[in-house]
Structure 1
Amino acid sequence: MGAYDSELTRVAAEARAALIRQIDREGAWRTDPVWRETFAEVPRHLFVPYYYVGVVGGYERYAADDPDPAGRERWARGAYADAPLATRLHDGELVSSSSQPSLMARMLVALGVRDGDRVLEVGTGTGYNAALLAHRLGDDSLVTTVDMEPEITEPARQHLAGAGYHPVVVTGDGAHGVPAHAPYDRIMATCMLPTVPRPWIAQCAPGARIIAPLNNGLLALDVDGSGRAEGRFLPTGAYFVPLRGESRAPAEPVSTRGLPGRARDQESFRFLLGLLRGALEPTRAYALWESVGMPDRDRYGVTVSGPRAWAWLDDPEGRHAWPLP
């Protein structure tokens, strides 16, 4: 290893330590500190040999193979920014990324992984999250990760192997799950969903938990022995690349035209509009939102029972409930 390679390794280690301290201050893993050790041990920079940073008029590429030593150092430090990193673009559209580390930490803590759990990750991305899961469980065979295209899964498999991890990496439509490795005790999605895919419920063991982004929120569902899944949104907002395939998330936001200015400025109201997806006309949705105290995300939840799925406010059997696809 050359002198500069040693320096780059030092820079990456320094940046990783700074990221851990930052997430410490936010308290993301206070209730499950094993994740602190996991993030400290798994090197994110090995999973993002290049990434794109938004600039005026497009994106700038940061890469480990930058011929300029200063560029390589910039890449190593940026790999540990507490920010999502764009890793794949298609015609200017972001189709894959490495999620924000502090958000990943909150999702992994909420997932409640226990020793021996079998975990399905939907949305392989760079492979970094699968590596975190494999490291935490200490058994690569317990982790299955799926993504839509070999252009994503093959590099992820290489990144994982380079970091010393060998979970099961599957190319396929994540909305269908991976029945060959079911049942799962935990399912975690790192892509935005329009609803909860029913095959996931069928592939869950009794007592399983699902953490998934839905409508720019994080939904935590618990699955009982009858196959009914129910749970609430976490307070944390979440913005992910949409699930691709048969169950693509809606691309267009619901219009707030004609509503009071404060409605357009309130994230909690926009969350309700997205959850309704046309079940209520926007002015009626606004009246409801005001009348029930302008609720934040964690007052909403979702239930999946057989073929039915519905979102609700405060009570799954209450008066404020709306069908999901």
Structure 2
Amino acid sequence: MSTGDDLLREAQDRLDAAMESRGLWPEEDSAWVRGAMTALPRHRFAPDVVWEWDGWTWVAVDREREPGRWAALVYPEPQDSTVTQITDGLPTSSLSCTQVVADMLDSLMLQPGQSVVELGTGSGWNAALLAHRAGPGGRVVSVEIDPGLARAAAERLAAAGAPVEVRTGDGTAGIAGLEPVDRLVATYAVETVPGTWIEQVRPGGRLVIPWGRLGHYALTVAEDGTSATGWLQGLALFMGDRHATSAATSPAPAPGGETAVDDQEMFEDLTGGHLLFALRVSHPGIVVSVEGSGARARVRLREETSGRSALVKRTDGALVAATGEGRELWVALRAGYQLWRERGRPEQWDFGMTVSPAGQTVWIHDPASGPYTG
């Protein structure tokens, strides 16, 4: 019979092997990430109770009573996170999925001896990895809005020997009184990158920020210190800023109109992935998610402001919105599809972002191309 330690080692080895076989471990300048995750394993930063979705509700899984199940949840598939806190029936904190943590650390390009601010301490695992890389000559300051999470993370970090300054506060405002740092990373998504985050980083420094709960950008601060520009680095779902309000629906104007939208073609392109991100830019108020693939693929739509929803799927070669209240959402997205086609069907990696005192602009190919709109 396996002991708790054996179960953890087996689960940890499975996750490491999955990352290896799928080519998900960063290489070259970021090869340090794998070693850091081995030295500072996920389970050292997980609470004794984690949560699992059973199809109806979130169920608590206790480490002492169910060590094997707990280990499997702490070391899931590379693309899966571990829910560590439920508030009013909804997840409010998690150990982020290993694939995304590795990708974001790679994008951050943190060097030994540098200073870094982390916004959203959570369990403390990511902060520990940052401290491992920054080393004795570096500095890691992490801020967490939830006092309970901040206390628990500080205790785990101390037990792991990770020199991280954990502060309690609202990271959206940055950290007052702290001189500009070399790097800044957020662990929760924002719709609009706060100007205070740009000011927190020195000219030439780098920020890695989840945006729109769909992907993360890496931005480099300009020499004047007032703006930052960069590219989309990866896709993943992120928990949002706890103070954020739902994005308003802002359909892009339909371009030219020389060709009518073919719903079947739009459906096929949407399940391919690149259009999904483009619609997130052009129609931020409509949450679009794809389930399954091929003939079984389905697209779910939900309007954040009204709660209207739709399920779009194939039926005998035709597309049907299964929920009548949201049929208009599919029609609204046609404008975004036409925009995407007119702009040359850009891939998700073609999207960049500039944040300046004048506002935030998402563009494709080159900042000079202007906002991604019709």
TM-score range, shorter chain: 0.7 to 0.9
Which has the larger displacement, 159-168 or 96-105? 159-168
Which has the larger displacement, 55-64 or 101-110? 55-64
Quick one: distance in 2 between partners of 1:118 and 1:319? 33
* Corresponding residue SS for 2:184: strand
* 181 and 64 in structure 1: CA distance in 2 versus 1, 3 angstrom threshold: farther
Q: Provide the residue aligned with 1:110 in structure 2.
A: 107
Q: Provide the residue aligned with 2:190 in structure 1.
A: 193
Which has the larger displacement, 11-20 or 116-125? 11-20
Quick one: distance in 2 between partners of 1:139 and 1:249? 40
Deviations 1:236-257 (A, max 9, x none): 2111110123xx153688899x
Q: Provide the residue aligned with 2:299 in structure 1.
A: none
Q: Provide the residue aligned with 2:39 in structure 1.
A: 41
* 221 and 38 in structure 1: CA distance in 2 versus 1, 3 angstrom threshold: same
Quick one: distance in 1 between partners of 2:370 and 2:104? 30
Residue 84 in structure 1 maps to residue 81 in structure 2: yes
**8 Å CA contact 2:282, 2:372 repeated in 1:** no
Quick one: distance in 2 between partners of 1:65 and 1:55? 20
Q: Provide the residue aligned with 2:16 in structure 1.
A: 20
Which has the larger displacement, 179-188 or 143-152? 179-188
- Measured after TM superposition, the shift of residue 98 of structure 1 is 0.9
Whose relative contact order is higher, 1 or 2, with alpha carbons under 8 Å and at least 6 apart?
1
* 273 and 45 in structure 1: CA distance in 2 versus 1, 3 angstrom threshold: same
Amino acid at match of 2:64: D
Quick one: distance in 2 between partners of 1:140 and 1:11? 36
* 140 and 121 in structure 1: CA distance in 2 versus 1, 3 angstrom threshold: farther
Rg larger in structure: 2
Matches within 5 A, 1:80-159: 80-81=75-76, 82=78, 83-139=80-136, 142-159=139-156
Quick one: distance in 2 between partners of 1:197 and 1:116? 26
Amino acid at match of 1:23: M
Deviations 1:24-74 (A, max 9, x none): 2323312321111101110211211221111121122222232xxxx1132
**8 Å CA contact 1:253, 1:274 repeated in 2:** no
Residue 260 in structure 1 maps to residue 259 in structure 2: no
Structure 1 gaps, min length 5: none
Residue 8 in structure 1 maps to residue 7 in structure 2: no
Q: Provide the residue aligned with 2:356 in structure 1.
A: 305
- Measured after TM superposition, the shift of residue 307 of structure 1 is 3.7
Give the TM-score normalised by the residue count of structure 1: 0.86
Amino acid at match of 2:62: A
- Measured after TM superposition, the shift of residue 139 of structure 1 is 3.4
Q: Provide the residue aligned with 1:233 in structure 2.
A: 232
Amino acid at match of 2:11: A
Structure 2 gaps, min length 5: 253-260, 286-331
* Corresponding residue SS for 1:179: coil
**8 Å CA contact 2:112, 2:137 repeated in 1:** no
* 202 and 255 in structure 1: CA distance in 2 versus 1, 3 angstrom threshold: closer
Amino acid at match of 1:27: L
Which has the larger displacement, 194-203 or 261-270? 261-270
* 238 and 254 in structure 1: CA distance in 2 versus 1, 3 angstrom threshold: farther
1:171 aligned to which of 159, 168, 171: 168
Deviations 1:98-138 (A, max 9, x none): 10011100110111010111111111111111111112222
* Corresponding residue SS for 1:286: helix
* Corresponding residue SS for 1:317: helix
- Measured after TM superposition, the shift of residue 298 of structure 1 is 1.0
Q: Provide the residue aligned with 1:275 in structure 2.
A: 281
Residue 29 in structure 1 maps to residue 26 in structure 2: yes
Q: Provide the residue aligned with 1:318 in structure 2.
A: 369
Quick one: distance in 1 between partners of 2:249 and 2:155? 36
Quick one: distance in 1 between partners of 2:85 and 2:262? 36
**8 Å CA contact 1:211, 1:221 repeated in 2:** yes
Quick one: distance in 2 between partners of 1:165 and 1:223? 28
Amino acid at match of 2:75: Y
